[in-house]
């Protein structure tokens, strides 16, 4: 079929009538499908069930430090778990601190600490007239929720195929001392699946911000979440690059096992310079006696080492890959050539980013909901939930079964077609 924009009013109306009949048939099925969040499926969670058997009532629960993991002690993580996550994050184990079950929690704490106590001796942000963060868009809604919660002004920075628009990032941080940070998901970004290029990482490391307390919040959530064994994206390690550029303290790097073992019951870590970690440990001594060492030990003994973790992620990929391909095949088959949407085929991560015609995203999500498909709210991938073009929609293929996903994607493309035709008819 030719592009919709090339059809006459009569042809568009005929298409609309045909699609509406199809849509009514779908509605009558009373489906309940959910593509709203990037949750691992039950099948993926089952891959980690062996972790439940690693520790038993008669297990030796003494870690490499010689500490009984059932008791107090070891504030910043047991040695074997630090080694495991350090290898996953590609940093020396002396440069990481293990936290609890969520990297989001670490990011929240890091912003909160900066608000109340400042960053390495600088003025606490709460005492400043204005604090801003740069936000690559489309991006991760939970990042934006943290900064909004603290009243931090968010400034949109467009994403490119290489990562954030670095010309704009360099200009803004150099000119404005009220800009204190930037959110980044540098590998298989949420939601586009873009991996920052070598040049982008180098330019981040060489930033010369006006604010001495500026930090890059480097959320490497999908560092080993590849879909294909033979087609990986590669990301330069930012901590070492910052050190080489004379900016060792400029980055906080976050990661967790949330989408590796059990979301909500995994382990998380921050990697940073010695000076940054010294400050973080100071807060931790007040905040906690130490995080769950039994869970840390369970993870270390289940995966054994980074090789075991990588092999485990191959099993995740075998489950995820057919789902991503099912969505991408349907998008191409049903929407290819119609010029009413565009998308990126990622090599890893958890999402597919879809850009509809301008002014259509909210209507498409609402239309899909009518047919029983719940999706991420349109606008969620932008600060304050406001997509200036109302075009970006985040597709999360992981949670539904493959059959449910095929049905869900059919509903989605049907909704895209109907809303797009209505928009074109309005504009004729």
In angstroms, rounded to a whole number, what is the distance separating the alpha carbons of residues 313 and 253?
21
Please count the CA atoms within 13 angstroms of the CA of 426 that sit on its side-chain side: 8
pLDDT > 90 in the chain, percent: 99
Q: What is the mean pLDDT of the chain?
A: 97
CATH number listed for the domain at residues 4-44+310-427? 3.90.1150.10
Q: Which pLDDT score, from 0 to 100, does residue 247 have? A: 98
CB 374 within 8 A of CB 35: yes
User: 65-97, pLDDT tens digit by residue?
Assistant: 999 999 999 999 999 999 999 999 999 999 999
The full set of domain ranges for the chain reads: 4-44+310-427, 67-304
Read off the pLDDT band of 1 (50, 70, 90). confident
User: 282-297, pLDDT tens digit by residue?
Assistant: 999 999 999 999 999 9
Q: In this model, does residue 300 exceed pLDDT 90? A: yes
What mean pLDDT do residues 394-402 have?
96
| CA torsion angle 40 45 48 49 (round to 10) | 170
What mean pLDDT do residues 28-34 have?
94
Asked if the 67-304 domain carries CATH number 3.40.50.150, the reply is: no
Q: In this model, does residue 197 exceed pLDDT 90? A: yes
| 3-state secondary structure string across 342-386 | EECCCCECCCEEEEECCCCHHHHHHHHHHCCEEECCCCCCCHHHC
3-state SS, residue 322: helix
Buried b (16+ CB within 10 A) or exposed e, 52-71: eeebeeeeeeebeeebebee
pLDDT > 70 in the chain, percent: 100
Q: In this model, does residue 428 exceed pLDDT 90? A: no
Q: Which pLDDT score, from 0 to 100, does residue 192 have? A: 98
User: 338-366, pLDDT tens digit by residue?
Assistant: 999 999 999 999 999 999 999 999 999 99
Helices (H) then strands (E): counts for the chain: 13, 13
User: 124-162, pLDDT tens digit by residue?
Assistant: 999 999 999 999 999 999 999 999 999 999 999 999 999
In angstroms, rounded to a whole number, what is the distance separating the alpha carbons of residues 297 and 70?
10
Q: Which pLDDT score, from 0 to 100, does residue 408 have? A: 97
């Amino acid at each position: 079929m030719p592009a919709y924009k090339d059809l006459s009013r009569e042809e568009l109306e005929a298409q609309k009538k045909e699609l509406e009949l199809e849509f009514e048939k779908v509605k009558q099925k009373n489906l309940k499908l959910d593509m709203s969040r990037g949750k691992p499926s039950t099948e993926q969670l089952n891959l980690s069930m062996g972790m439940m058997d690693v520790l038993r009532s008669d297990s030796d629960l003494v870690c490499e430090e010689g500490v009984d993991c059932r008791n107090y002690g070891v504030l910043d993580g047991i040695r074997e778990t630090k080694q495991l996550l350090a290898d996953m994050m590609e940093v020396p184990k002396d440069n990481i601190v293990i936290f609890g079950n969520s990297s989001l929690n670490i990011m929240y704490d890091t912003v909160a600490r900066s608000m109340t106590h400042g960053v390495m001796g600088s003025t606490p942000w709460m005492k400043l007239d204005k604090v801003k963060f740069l936000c690559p868009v489309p991006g991760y809604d939970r990042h934006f929720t943290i900064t909004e919660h603290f009243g931090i002004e968010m400034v949109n920075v467009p994403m490119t195929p290489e990562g954030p628009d670095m010309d704009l990032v360099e200009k803004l941080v150099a000119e404005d001392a009220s800009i204190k940070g930037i959110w980044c998901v540098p590998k298989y970004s949420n939601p586009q699946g873009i991996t920052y290029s070598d040049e982008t990482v180098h330019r981040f490391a060489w930033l010369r911000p006006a604010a001495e307390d500026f930090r890059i919040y480097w959320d490497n959530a999908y560092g080993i979440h590849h879909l294909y064994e033979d087609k990986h994206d590669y990301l330069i390690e930012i901590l070492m690059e910052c050190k080489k550029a004379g900016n060792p303290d400029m980055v906080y790097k976050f990661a967790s096992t949330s989408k590796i073992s059990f979301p909500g019951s995994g382990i998380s870590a921050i990697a940073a310079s010695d000076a940054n970690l010294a400050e973080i440990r100071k807060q931790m001594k007040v905040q906690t006696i130490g995080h769950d060492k039994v869970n840390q030990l369970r993870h270390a003994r289940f995966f054994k080492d980074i090789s075991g973790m990588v092999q485990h992620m191959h099993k995740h990929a075998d489950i995820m890959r057919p789902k991503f391909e099912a969505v991408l095949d349907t998008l191409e088959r049903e929407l290819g050539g119609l010029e009413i949407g565009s998308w990126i085929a990622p090599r890893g991560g958890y999402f597919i980013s879809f850009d509809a015609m301008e002014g259509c995203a909210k209507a498409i999500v609402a239309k899909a909901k009518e047919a029983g498909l719940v999706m991420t709210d349109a606008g969620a991938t932008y600060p304050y939930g406001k997509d200036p073009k109302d075009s970006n929609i985040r597709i999360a293929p992981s949670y539904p079964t493959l059959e449910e996903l095929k049905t869900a994607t059919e509903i989605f493309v049907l909704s895209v077609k109907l809303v797009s035709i209505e928009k074109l008819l309005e504009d004729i």
